[in-house]
Amino acid sequence: MEDLTVETELNGTTLNMKLIGKINAVNSEMIMNKAKENSDDFSAVIIDASELEYISSSGIRQIVNLNILANSKGGTLVIRNTNEFVKDVFDGIGLFELISG
């Protein structure tokens, strides 16, 4: 059971991603796989984490890799609508500083 759904929508050169469920070591690669399906068409990424319940270290690694991909194209990565658990994880490891810096 994957426990993760990744919805994507391309809006101009921005890839909107909605992460739903739990990201773990088994399903985390789904994030980059979905991004790579549109990699020729986007430079910026907006992640909606409003329905993200849990993220493991492998999921964090995929988000960091997605940030690197967006930066390599001259774009940015933005994470919106995190719940308290996910926000605490991101704050605890300094992810928000990494992606905004």
Give the Cα separation of 41 and 12 in Å (integer).
8
Measured on CA atoms in the order 97, 17, 76, 29, is the torsion positive or negative? Answer: positive
pTM score > 0.75 for this model? Answer: yes
What is d(CA 76, CA 71) in angstroms, rounded to the nearest whole number? 6
Encode the chain (101 residues) as per-residue pLDDT tens digits: 469 999 999 999 999 999 999 999 999 999 999 999 988 889 999 999 999 999 999 999 999 999 999 999 999 999 999 989 888 888 888 887 766 54
Distance between CA atoms of residues 40 and 10, nearest Å: 11
pLDDT of residue 1: 47
CATH of segment(s) 4-100:
3.30.750.24
